Amino acid sequence: MLVQKRKKTRKSFIVWGTVGVVFALSIFLVYQNISSTSTTKPSATLTNTSISKLPVPKDFGQTIFSDPRFNAIANPDNTKDQLSTVYVDQLSVEVLSENSLSVPEDFSVTNPGYGGKLFLSWKNSQTNDMLPSTALYRSSGVASGFEQVAFLPASVSEYADTDVVNDQTYYYRAKAVIENELFTSNQLASGQADTVLDIRVDSFEGTNAVVSWDGFSHDSLQAIQIKRIRGGVGSVVATYTLADDPEKIVSAFSFVDNNGESGDAYQIIGFSAFKESNYSSTVGATPSDVIPPEAPSDITIVNGGDGNSVNIFWANPLDPDFDYVKIYRSTIQGVLGEVIKSARTEYMQFGGTCVSTKSEDGIIPTNSTVASPEGDCFVNNNSLSEGQTYYYTLTAVDTSGNESPKRIIGQIGRGNPFTSL
């Protein structure tokens, strides 16, 4: 009986031992399989990526599901998207020689919103102890036709272009320039010559011009610029350097200006030192006037005393583009009404600042002969009904059609407490 019991115990021990070994072996195999999934080289679709640089997850919970490698393996069709956040932001650098100039940085143009002007700004970024000037170029086209509109010293990084027309788009670009002037020719109109420098200006096909020279022999000459003078303002229309265009400097050459106008003059400037950067990126803007003028002030309305008219007084705003005043009339408080319509309304002199003139439909124009916009102006509104209350609103309009805000105060509460709402 005892021997049979011992045999049964030994048999149970062997069975349970075998089960334990099998269980331990299963755990070991599962561990090895998971570890190999995290550390072995990915499939061919992930070759040459930055996956191998990622840290290996230290647990088998949520970390592995947020790991880009797991996402790439689980979603091979989206590998590129899953790995796009692995790379850091790219940095750029312009390759320059020791004496090269960097392009002006952060070049931008802004429309201030009141018309007739565009603002340009930039930042000079030099690393070789050079302090370049900035040349600004403008065109009405985005790809060609650029002409220099300003040449500014290194201390200046802003420019206001006031030679612009509202609602027309202008394009700008800039370059950094270092120059040392060697000579300057006389200003030459068509048919004139500089005998010292052997420069001639001739016209062809109307207003177009040809600037010709026989070649310059100055030993230290490095570059020349051709400047067009129009209306007293000079702009560079061509630049030739000894490094890039030697034949146009030392030999006879003719420059043709196809954009000439009657009365233009030309000048050639030579430089003993001349360096310039590449052009900046091209930026564009459209000047427009979207800011209304100030409203008329010091408004006073006085009964005319004849039972059918009132006299309205006001002071014009001081805005330089102020054009005229509009007068609205209503018989209901808080309602703008319509522009006064009368057979004839006079804009009379009052206080020595306004000139009597006619207007149509209540639009009161200004007059260029007015000495100053300050002071009171006056209009008589007649053909009114005796006993009727009238409400007036005055606004100012500028040359771009912007109208000053209309300040209307409606009736507060019920005018008659005995009427129904």
| Residues 364, 335 within the same domain | yes
Residues in the chain: 421
Distance CA 326, CA 208 (A): 48
Cα-to-chain-centroid distance, residue 182 = 37
The DSSP output letter for 181 is: E
Residues 86 and 208 in one domain: no
Higher local confidence (pLDDT), 261 or 49: 261
Residue 420 lies in a domain: no
CA pair distance 9, 123, nearest whole angstrom: 92
User: Are the C-beta atoms of 227 and 264 separated by less than 8 Å?
Assistant: no
The overall average pLDDT reported for the chain is 74
Out of 88-97, 308-317, 373-382, 409-418, pick the least confident.
409-418
pLDDT 10s digits, 166-195: 999 999 999 998 888 899 999 999 899 999
Q: Is residue 411 part of a domain?
A: no
Say if 42 falls within a structural domain: no
126 burial class (0-12, 13-18, 19+ CB within 10 angstroms)?
middle
Q: Are 227 and 139 within one domain?
A: yes
Q: Which of 36-40, 113-117, 160-164, 196-200 has the lowest mean pLDDT?
A: 36-40
Which residues make Cβ contacts (< 8 Å) with residue 201, sequence separation at least 6? Answer: 188, 189, 190, 191, 192, 193, 209, 210, 211, 212, 265, 266
Which whole-number Å values give the CA distances from 45 to 48, 75, 84, 127, in the listed order? 9, 11, 15, 44
Q: Is residue 38 part of a domain?
A: no
Quick one: pLDDT at residue 407?
A: 73
Q: Are 116 and 163 in contact (CB under 8 A)?
A: no
Q: What is the pLDDT of residue 262?
A: 86
The number of distinct structural domains making up the chain is: 4
Mean pLDDT of 51-56: 45
The answer to whether residues 311 and 134 touch, using CB atoms and an 8 Å cutoff, is no
Range of the domain at 20: 1-29
Do residues 115 and 165 share a domain? yes
What end-to-end distance do the CA atoms of the chain give, in Å? 113
User: 406 in a domain, yes or no?
Assistant: no
Under a CB-based contact definition with an 8 Å cutoff, are residues 255 and 290 in contact? Answer: no
**Confidence category of residue 270, pLDDT binned at 50, 70, 90:** very high
Q: What is the mean pLDDT of residues 336-348?
A: 56
Based on the domain organization, do 109 and 236 belong to the same domain?
A: yes
Q: Are residues 235 and 119 in the same domain?
A: yes
Residues 240 and 159 in one domain: yes
- For residues 204 and 167, membership in a common domain is answered with yes
Q: How confident is the model over 225-257, as pLDDT tens digits?
A: 999 999 888 888 899 988 888 999 999 999 999
Residues 209 and 316 reside in one and the same domain? no
Instruction: Assess if residue 167 is contained within a domain.
Output: yes
At 90 the pLDDT is 61
Identify the DSSP state of 402: -
Please tell me which residue, 381 or 94, carries the higher pLDDT value. Answer: 381
Q: Is residue 46 part of a domain?
A: no
**124 occurs within a structural domain:** yes
Please determine, for residue 415, whether its predicted confidence score (pLDDT) is greater than 60: no
Q: What is the CATH number of the domain that holds 392?
A: 2.60.40
Count CB neighbours of 218 within 10 A: 15
DSSP 289: B
What are the backbone dihedrals phi and psi of residue 331, each rounded to the nearest 5 degrees, phi first? -100, 5
Q: Are residues 196 and 317 in the same domain?
A: no
Contact in structure between 349 and 356 (CB atoms under 8 Å)? yes
Same-domain status, 264 and 244: yes
Same structural domain, 274 and 322: no
